[in-house]
């Protein structure tokens, strides 16, 4: 084992903006900073409670950056986001400092998905769906940590 550990930063814009969801997934709340992702739009998805983002000129998505994410934690986030999302590098603007930052984020894989519509709102999600989402996240973590999932 070498002594160096790669740390990642990840721009989150949906359910992962909720500290309780992040704590369930990686067992801690990392340092964060509010951020804006320019030239993207956050869509609602028919039949889902979480959002999708896709490139969109002159639009912007507000969210936050999670700092100090380990390789293992990034792997957990990858599994959580599943194959419907593609992890990509993007440049965000940190709202506290106006500093530009290269970071990772999860972009919806199907650019022509007919189920994308409107604009997803975090505050509305918190009120309507967060409780059920936390239960689902807990089940995801239990399943991920069960011996059968090691295969």
Residue 81 among the catalytic residues = yes
| Residue 75 zone, left/alpha/beta (φ > 0; ψ -120 to 50; rest) | alpha
Which residues, in sequence order, are CB contacts of 135 under 8 Å at separation 6+? Answer: none
| Active-site residue, selected from the candidate residues 81, 121, 139, 148 | 81
Q: At what angle do helices 71-81 and 130-145 cross, to 10 degrees?
A: 120
Kindly report the number of other CB atoms within 10 A of residue 108's CB atom: 19
Q: Which residue has the tokens 């721009």?
A: 11
Separation CA 142–CA 121 (nearest Å): 28
Catalytic residues: 81
């Amino acid at each position: 084992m070498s002594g160096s550990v790669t740390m990642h930063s990840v721009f989150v814009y949906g359910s992962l903006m909720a500290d309780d969801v992040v704590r369930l997934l990686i067992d801690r709340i990392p340092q964060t900073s509010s951020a804006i992702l320019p030239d993207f739009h956050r869509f609602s998805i028919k039949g889902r409670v979480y959002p999708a983002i896709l490139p969109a000129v002159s639009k912007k998505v507000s969210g936050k950056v999670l700092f100090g994410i380990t390789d293992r934690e990034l792997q957990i986030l990858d599994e959580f986001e599943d194959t419907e999302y593609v992890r990509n590098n993007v440049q965000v603007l940190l709202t506290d400092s106006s500093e530009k930052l290269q970071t990772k984020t999860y972009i919806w894989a199907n650019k022509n998905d007919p189920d994308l519509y409107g604009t997803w709102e975090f505050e509305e999600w918190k009120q309507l769906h967060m409780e059920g989402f936390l239960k689902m996240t807990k089940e995801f973590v239990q399943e991920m940590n069960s011996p059968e999932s090691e295969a």
